[in-house]
Amino acid sequence: MTTKLFGQRIRRVEDPRLLSGRGRYLDDLGHDALAVAFVRSPHAHARVLDIDVSAALEVEGLVAIFSYDDLDGKTSEPLPLLIPHPALTHGRTPYALAKDEVNHVGEAIVMVVASDRYVAEDVVGLIRVDYELLPPVVGVERARDGGALVHDDVPGNVAATMVQEVGDAAAAIDASPRRQRLQLSIERSASMPMEGKGVLARWDADDESLLVHTSTQTSTSVRQAIAAKLSLPVDRVEVVTPDVGGGFGVKIVHPWPEEILVPWASVRLNRPVKWVEDRREHFISSAHERGQLHDVTVGYGDDGRVTGLSVQFWHDNGAYTPYGLIVPIITSTQLLGPYKPTAYRVEFASLYTNTVMVTPYRGAGRPQGCFVMERVMDAIAADLGLDRALVRERNFIQPDEMPYDHGLTFQDGRPLIYDSGDFPASLSKLKQLVGWDDFAKYRERAAAEGRRVGIGLACYVEGTGVGPYEGGHIRVETDGSVVVSTGLTTQGQGHQTMLAQIVADELGVPMERVRVTTGDTRRFKYAVGTFASRTAVMSGSAVALTARKVRAKALRIASNALEAAVDDLEIVDGHVQVKGSPGSQVDLGAVAVLSNPLRYAFDEAAARATQFATPHDPDQPPVAADDEPGLEGSGFFSPTRSTFANGMHAVVVETDPDTAEVKILRYCVVHDCGTIINPMIVEGQVHGGVAQGIGGALFERMEYDESGQLLNASYMDFLMPYASEIPHIEIDHLETPSPLNPLGVKGAGEAGVIPVSAAIAAAIEDAEGVVITAMPISPSELFDLRRAREQRGEAR
Amino acid sequence: MKPAPFAYLLPSTVDEAAEMLAATGGKVLAGGQSLIPLMSMRLAAPPALVDINRVGGITDIEVGDDAVRVGALVRHAALEAHAPAYDANPLLRRALRHVAHATIRNRGTTVGSIVHADPAGEMPAVLRLLGGSVEAVSQARGRRSIDAADFFVGPLESALGEDEIAVGVVFPRPPAGSGSSWLEISRRRGDYALVGVGAVVTLDSDRNVIGAAVSLISVGATPVHVDVGHVGADSAYDDVDWSGATELVDAAISPEADIHATADYRRHLAQVLTRRALAEATADAAPRVAA
Amino acid sequence: MTPEPLHEVTLTVNHVPHQLRLPARRLLSDALRHDVRLTGTHVGCEHGVCGACTVLLDGQPIRSCLMFAVTADGASITTTEGCLEPDGELGAVQEAFHDCHALQCGFCTPGFITTITAYLETHPNPSEQQAREAIGGNLCRCTGYQNIVAAVLRAAEIKRERSAP
């Protein structure tokens, strides 16, 4: 195989369409559909006593008002618990419309369908709901004390507790020469894609079929869920993912109440119905992540080697647990990063609060785990007066220990076994890139100018490409074009480009001939979804394997046409030819024609495949018993385990001695995602991840008050960084191929975000000499830390 | 997030606008950069909007010997870019650069942001610092001028009557030998300031301080104006100890905590920025005095 | 309840006049998207912070979610569709975004394209720092801005190349 596209910086095939305004995002469709708006709870915890719609009924343009009592069949049951787990003993999911209790501000109670969204919002404003207020549970501490309950039937607000242990951590820590205990916390943030969610449903009463467009990360599973909830045969429901304006995790959750209600209303009203989430709705009724408190005890030797690690943490899962325990399980396993504590115990409790539910946001529990582990490494270095990079090096899993089995169970229910990676090499690259060993001199020079600077680093390992499987279908058309379909969805990661690169290479066709479709159940019905940095690994491998099948078939057909042995053939530039003899060739389009024995010559090319046009063996059927017509094939990839990408970040910050403002002077990344398909796209993923990480480290948080009101539910006050807040990011790559898939790739999507809070905390700590135990940190909070230190009478 | 319905009125003269405002109890729509988001969030639902964007005679920037007068339809960006206005009073551009982002400044009006009376707004504080005034017109009271000192009453609350239209504001020129500065700290560039400070320092012909004042934003219900002239009085421009000014400022402000900063931190920033702004304004003034 | 009164509004969008009858409260962003049906302009926050809806009003970037369509009556508006070359090829800024991988999901992109197109009219040769400032009022959740900054510089280059005789 000539690998001329794999590994190249190829400009994206998606771009021209998106750049010229021809993208089709959810709200670009269905201009004439009815519009939906919701009455959402203004209270964090309340019983719904009465709904009075009488004032709204006269509004011109109102079509329908629905509340829980209107729901029928399975739509009136709670939404599915997507990822059950034996430890999730008290899983709870919401109703599509609140039944008689609301558990967070923003929970949908009444659905309004009207001629347009303006009118629908007018109606919402006229509907009166009477509530009996219940005590709200906000924050891990309040949830943990169990004084008030989110769900009456969940004692102590505990959805789940879970323990994993390797070795006897307590004994190992007791036996360690040195010990420390740290309390570490991370606050809530959220995916916050620029496009909110949205659903458009078109019921075709004549065909008794439903076509749903939704801004999702998994169209196949939404399809199954809609069919189940609406009691429709699955084959009467198709779900299409249009262009999606970012996902970052929040759109993997499904079915959202609206993904059931909008199709349901379309069937019931026999009209196209559309709901487009506005920004406030996205803040108060989608999902958040990150909020966790951690209590860590570590034992280590005088050389800095960890001998025992015990972590207990409390995960705020919000009001419901549709996505199970994925986030805390990831924290509890991925916390270990590139290190090998001899003995490890982790225990977590997943707790209900009267806040928006918590589901994975890019990184999905890893930023918290990385923060914990890297704070531990820095604490050990500080205690022993050792170089922080050296302490990390001493705890690294070594390349010759790969594959490395941690003895734990990962988020996919499979063993946590690292497949590859060279952590010492990555660290060495990072130290070189950032100038780690020369930083002391830089610090001195800065200090002489009255400036405070600091450096920090953080390392992580990310399980990527989790199963169970993905698939692909490839068809070579008779004009030689190649149509590729994969079931998972895309939200801007350049999947169409990346997959086209792979297929073009494997098939030997020019990339311009390859068209890729994602997330359309009319094209491909079996898929899992886009999450966990899995597309390159899963769909990339699936389409590569499928392309090899199609290639084999093309060679087989061409060998007859060219009267040459398969082994003597190659495919170059869309032509099958005898190796070394390009004069003897047949183009793939013609092979596609020949692959489909025809009776009717519907076009000129088809004539070549009709019954009197081709010589054939009269004793054999036109299509062999083990064959099918068409130059096409399907294939699936289902790996035994996840691949494990890794990376290390270093950051240099300057803190203003007067104002406590934090400025990032340099941000350096060394990244290992195995073999790289398109470095331009991978770097783009890293840039974006780092920027979100910086948001999470210095700017973004979900600020709930005690009553459960989200105080900053707007872009004015939820501080996503602008260009002015994000530095230039320097990247170096290491490629240690994964042995677990045919391409050697590991995922890259989430990587950038994971270690940012850890690295920035370390850098601020280094600049300021105050211990950082909670992120994000604002200038106001850094000022408080300085004050506290002054009051303790400590010098900087 | 869609606005509630309203009656839309499109006057072509100030008098017509004043008449419509009195008749409807509506609100004036100029740039709309503060009003429209409030309406989209349905935090405001005025029964009528009097859109003054086609009203004549309120579009000019007039640079006079004593003042820069800005009409109600002058966009922030136009004032920011206006060279004669900058020459007459550099503080205007220095502060305007901190008003939201450039795209908002293309549409938002300076007069509108003053009328909005946001205690975190830059231009109300600039007007207060310069001792400016607002020109208002109503059907009932005709035309009147309201001093900045009287104009800002509380958060988002001004002395402008419900039926009054602000047709312009007057930014007096500081005395000869004056320098100015605008400094602020915000969480992200373009956000409302956690604290902002404008300063004007005036030197005599020997480059000794003869006047100084600061106005601060985000530390009180209105812009907080503090005359600190006596602190630096008679000190040479390169030898002023402004520390007394920070004490005066500290006594004058009443910052509150919000989700972005504690009151203590704001108090601290007010001192830091006051010191810096006065120093910068002094340095700015020095070359304006002929040696 | 009585239906809302409709207003005659003429919007010249990308040089094409559109005569519309709209309620006064119709936001310009919605009018462009759902009445003119040019959906290249996107709506990300509807409170003027994200910049995805930025269009050019008589050449100046404005937030189309912070303006009523009636107020824009008679104005000339340029959307990202209007930033294409007359022959339909990508405009200089769009081409630069393609070259530099300055977009991922593409949702915020139209606001950047219009903003940068206007910026380069008055700043044909920006520095990297100026390029970063020029995009300072637009949010992007995907790219981390680095490649957008590069695209501003590249767009200036392409403009020069295209205008060279």
Which among A24, A680, A726 has CB closest to C101?
A: A680
CATH architecture classification, C6-83:
Roll (3.10)
**Is there a contact between B261 and A780 if contact means CB atoms under 8 Å apart?**
yes
Rounded distance between C-alpha atoms, residue A502 and residue A516, angstroms: 11
* Residue of chain C whose Cα is closest to the Cα of A725: C136
**Is there a contact between C48 and B104 if contact means CB atoms under 8 Å apart?**
yes
Domain with CATH 3.10.20.30 in chain C: 6-83
**Is there a contact between C137 and B3 if contact means CB atoms under 8 Å apart?**
no
Sheet holding B209-217, edge to edge: B178-186, B193-203, B209-217, B224-227
**Is there a contact between C40 and A16 if contact means CB atoms under 8 Å apart?**
no
Q: For residue A1, is pLDDT > 50? A: no
With contact defined as beta carbons under 8 Å apart, do A715 and C47 qualify? yes
* pLDDT of amino acid A768: 97
3-class secondary-structure state, position A79:
coil
* pLDDT of amino acid B291: 60
A630 close to B (CB below 8 A): no
Residues of chain B with confidence (pLDDT) below 70 = 291
- What letter represents residue A568's amino acid? D
Rounded distance between C-alpha atoms, residue A212 and residue A230, angstroms: 13
Bridge partners, residue B197, by sequence:
B183, B216
**Is there a contact between C63 and B33 if contact means CB atoms under 8 Å apart?**
yes
Mean pLDDT of A750-771: 97
* pLDDT of amino acid B234: 86
Q: What is the DSSP string of A540-584?
A: IHHHHHHHHHHHHHHHHHHHHHHT--GGGEEEETTEEEETTEEEE
The pLDDT tens digits for A93-151 are 999 999 999 999 999 999 999 999 999 999 999 999 999 999 999 999 999 999 999 99
3-class secondary-structure state, position A238:
strand
The pLDDT tens digits for B11-31 are 999 999 999 999 999 999 999
**Is there a contact between B2 and A121 if contact means CB atoms under 8 Å apart?**
yes
Chain B residues whose C-beta is within 8 A of a chain C C-beta are: 1-8, 10, 29, 32-33, 36-37, 39-41, 49, 51, 53, 77, 100-104, 106-107, 189-190
Strands C54-57 and C16-23: unpaired
Mutation target to probe the C interface, by most C beta carbons within 10 A, among B24, B103, B186 is B103
Q: For residue A272, is pLDDT > 50? A: yes
**Is there a contact between C68 and B40 if contact means CB atoms under 8 Å apart?**
no
Rounded distance between C-alpha atoms, residue B30 and residue A71, angstroms: 46
With contact defined as beta carbons under 8 Å apart, do A362 and A691 qualify? no
* Confidence category of residue C2, pLDDT binned at 50, 70, 90: low
- Name the nearest CA neighbour of B52 among B102, B104, B15: B15
The pLDDT tens digits for C72-96 are 999 999 999 999 999 999 999 999 9
CA torsion sign for A77, A78, A79, A80 is negative
Domain with CATH 1.10.150.120 in chain C: 92-163
* Residue of chain A whose Cα is closest to the Cα of B275: A658
Rounded distance between C-alpha atoms, residue A282 and residue A192, angstroms: 8
The pLDDT tens digits for A692-746 are 999 999 999 999 999 999 999 999 999 999 999 999 999 999 999 999 999 999 9
Chain B hits for A278, CB-CB cut-off 8 Å, are: 1
Neighbours of chain A (3+ CB pairs under 8 A): B, C
C153 close to A (CB below 8 A): no
Share of chain A above pLDDT 70, in %: 99
Chain A hits for C153, CB-CB cut-off 8 Å, are: none
The pLDDT tens digits for C92-129 are 999 999 999 999 999 999 999 999 999 999 999 999 99
Q: For residue A670, is pLDDT > 80? A: yes
With contact defined as beta carbons under 8 Å apart, do A503 and A483 qualify? no
3-class secondary-structure state, position A203:
strand
CA distance C47 to chain B (A): 5
**Is there a contact between A491 and C105 if contact means CB atoms under 8 Å apart?**
yes
The pLDDT tens digits for A205-218 are 999 999 999 999 99
Helix axes A366-384, A756-768, angle to 10 degrees: 30
Rounded distance between C-alpha atoms, residue A769 and residue A759, angstroms: 15
**Is there a contact between A661 and B5 if contact means CB atoms under 8 Å apart?**
no
The pLDDT tens digits for A467-506 are 899 999 999 999 999 999 999 999 999 999 999 999 999 9
Which among B2, B7, B103 has CB closest to C63?
A: B103
Strands A729-733 and A662-672: parallel
* pLDDT of amino acid A582: 77
Query: DSSP character for A80?
Result: P
B107's CB contacts (< 8 A; 6+ apart) are B31, B32, B33, B75, C57, C60, C62, C63, C66, C67
With contact defined as beta carbons under 8 Å apart, do A496 and A18 qualify? no
Kindly report the number of other CB atoms within 10 A of residue A444's CB atom: 10
CATH architecture classification, B61-172:
2-Layer Sandwich (3.30)
**Is there a contact between C33 and A27 if contact means CB atoms under 8 Å apart?**
yes
The domain spans of chain B are: 7-54, 61-172, 178-288
CA distance B31 to chain C (A): 8
CA distance B197 to chain A (A): 14
Mutation target to probe the C interface, by most C beta carbons within 10 A, among B2, B29, B36, B105 is B36
Q: What angle do CA A428, A430, A434 make, to 5 degrees?
A: 125
> What are the backbone dihedrals phi and psi of residue A293, each rounded to the nearest 5 degrees, phi first?
-110, 140
Ordered by where they begin, the domains of chain A are: 32-134+191-285 (3.90.1170.50), 364-406+416-465+641-791 (3.30.365.10), 467-637 (3.30.365.10)
Q: What is the largest CA-CA distance in chain C?
A: 63
A118 close to B (CB below 8 A): yes
Which among C4, C67, C137 has CB closest to B5?
A: C4
* pLDDT of amino acid A793: 84
Pick the CATH number of B178-288 from 1.10.443.10, 3.40.309.10, 3.20.10.10, 3.30.390.50: 3.30.390.50
| Fold topology of C92-163 | DNA polymerase; domain 1 (1.10.150)
* Confidence category of residue C46, pLDDT binned at 50, 70, 90: very high
Structure tokens belonging to residue C73? 């009556």
- Name the nearest CA neighbour of A251 among A516, A519, A461: A519
| Fold topology of B7-54 | 3.30.43
